[in-house]
Amino acid sequence: MKKSILYTSLGGFIVITFLIKIILSFSRYNDGYGTSLEIDEQALVFFVAGVCILIGGICGICNSFNHKSNSMTFILAFGTAGVILCGYFMGAGFKAIAKGKDGSTIWYDFIVTILGGFIIAGSTISYLDYKKNN
């Protein structure tokens, strides 16, 4: 139950933080062909990953009330968040390399990609351990 509340709090913090960042970065303009909307794409990716963690935490709380294991819920929540982070930022990094940008602008993409890879690896190891014990 404590872990579920911690993950729900973490997910809620991430969601609220990046929702505020998305709202502040929102802009609308008319380019002559129609109205275009712009938002901070990286903040949107973190927001979606935070929603995954928040949903995992809420499902964990529900499982705790029903006396069920939370392991699979947390594995799926963090695995999905890791895939979202790793996939987007890896693509953004390779896109920046293809455009010929220097390393000082793409280091952030690869650091977040490595973080997403660690989250995926941790989820995979946890899943294998869960399957071995059950």
What residues does 27 pair with on adjacent strands?
A: 38
Q: Tens of pLDDT along 18-69?
A: 999 999 998 888 777 877 888 889 999 999 999 999 999 898 888 888 888 7
- For 41-94, the DSSP string reads HHHHHHHHHHHHHHHHHHHHHHHHHTT---HHHHHHHHHHHHHHHHHHHHHHHH
CA count, 13 A, side-chain hemisphere, 9:
6
Rg over alpha carbons for the chain, rounded to the nearest Å, is: 18
pTM score of the predicted model: 0.83
* Count of domains for the chain: 1
CB 123: neighbour CB atoms within 10 A? 20
Structural domain boundaries, residue 112? 2-133
